[in-house]
Amino acid sequence: MKSSSHHIPEPPATGEVADAVSGNWVDTRAPASWRPYLRLARVDRPIGTWLLLIPCWWGIALAATADQGRLSDLWLGLGCTIGAVLMRGAGCTWNDITDRDIDGSVGRTASRPIPSGQVTVRQALVFLAAQCLVAFAVLLTFNGAAIAMGIAALIPVAVYPFAKRFTWWPQAFLGVAFNWGALVGWVAHSGHLSLAAVLLWLSGIAWTLFYDTIYAHQDKEFDALIGVKSTARLFGANTGRWLYGFLVVTVALTTAAVLAALLPAGVGGPRLVLALIAPWAMAAHMLWQMRRLDIDAPDTCLMLFRANRDAGLIAALFLAAAALA
């Protein structure tokens, strides 16, 4: 639970980050000299990588369902996985560089590597560049349209850390960046952008508004003290109504994306049925989350936020089954 005082706890002597997954391999088995950088890249908290990767898999699977999958899609899935790890790490590094003063004022984030002094800003910038270069090398194995789409993703990634300073909707900016992989995955398979891909991307943005609003309720008291904006603060006691709205929009847009992808391609039968089940199965998980939501219980909010890995994977599995049917 968060303290309501202004006191900021000292970082643990081991260098562990306050909201990391307990017993993670970074804190228990990684070489000591690597740990600050692995923590900076959030390797000790893999949920963010999952939430960045899953829309990539959605895009690949839906494109493959509309147009018979190819063996190269196996590499696309693996390449996106590698890229998600690297770019999530790069995004978090950039976020921590820009937010180092804010993070030092919030109990949950004061133990992160930069505000706690484990990594200097210069070291973080070098680490950021290294992650981006390796990710770019992976991207170069994709087609030209996917390379261009991947480079364009740097714009929302660069803007996101500043969004909470000027808008109550930073979660929407996060959604734009975190779901860009749906566009990259689709284009990597098909070679071109389409309405279905855009609808899938928009559905992911609605999903991000759902789960990151839940996440933001952990920090609403501290955010209010330091003037940081969020949808959690904006919605307040009406959060439940908004979350149900985001749930409905997520399902509607994902269903529309499936229909826009498959009907013009003449795909029907089991493949169409499996693909249409995907958003509704995901919705069932999101409803399960809503039944357990308590916006004033930070531990519950964190648990539900992390549970969205499973919600997204449910949709990905049905889309993958449709592609293989």
Residue 30 has a pLDDT of 86
Residue 4 has a pLDDT of 36
- For the chain, give percent helix, strand, coil, nearest 5: 70, 0, 30
pLDDT band (50, 70, 90) for residue 258:
very high
Burial of 285 (0-12, 13-18, 19+ CB in 10 A): middle
Is the pLDDT confidence value at 285 over 60?
A: yes
Collapsing DSSP to helix, strand or coil, 115 comes out as: coil
Instruction: Quickly tell me which residue has 């958003």 as its tokens.
Output: 279
Parse the chain into domains and list their residue ranges: 25-324
DSSP output for 235-285: HGGGHHHHHHHHHHHHHHHHHHHHHHHHTTTT--HHHHHHHHHHHHHHHHH
How far from the centroid of its chain's Cα atoms is residue 266's Cα?
A: 32
Residue 15 has a pLDDT of 60
Is the pLDDT confidence value at 3 over 50?
A: no
pLDDT band (50, 70, 90) for residue 23:
low
Q: What is the pLDDT of residues 297-319, one digit of tens each?
A: 999 999 999 999 999 999 999 99
pLDDT band (50, 70, 90) for residue 85:
very high
Residue 102 has a pLDDT of 77
Please state the pTM of the whole predicted model.
0.90
Q: Which CATH number applies to 25-324?
A: 1.10.357.140
Mean pLDDT (whole number) for 57-84? 91
| C-alpha dist (Å) from residue 237 to 32, 61, 206, 242 | 43, 38, 20, 10
Which tokens in the block code for residue 290? 């809503």
Residue 192 has a pLDDT of 95
Q: What is the pLDDT of residues 107-160, one digit of tens each?
A: 667 788 898 889 999 999 999 999 999 999 999 999 999 999 999 999 999 999
Q: What is the pLDDT of residues 196-250, one digit of tens each?
A: 999 999 999 999 999 999 999 998 988 888 888 999 999 999 999 999 999 999 9
Q: What are phi and psi of 67, to 5 degrees?
A: -135, 110
Query: Who has greater pLDDT, 226 or 183?
Result: 183
Buried/exposed code over 61-78 (b: 16+ C-beta within 10 A; e: otherwise): bbbbbbeebeeebeebbe
Radius of gyration of the chain (CA): 20
Residue 10 has a pLDDT of 42
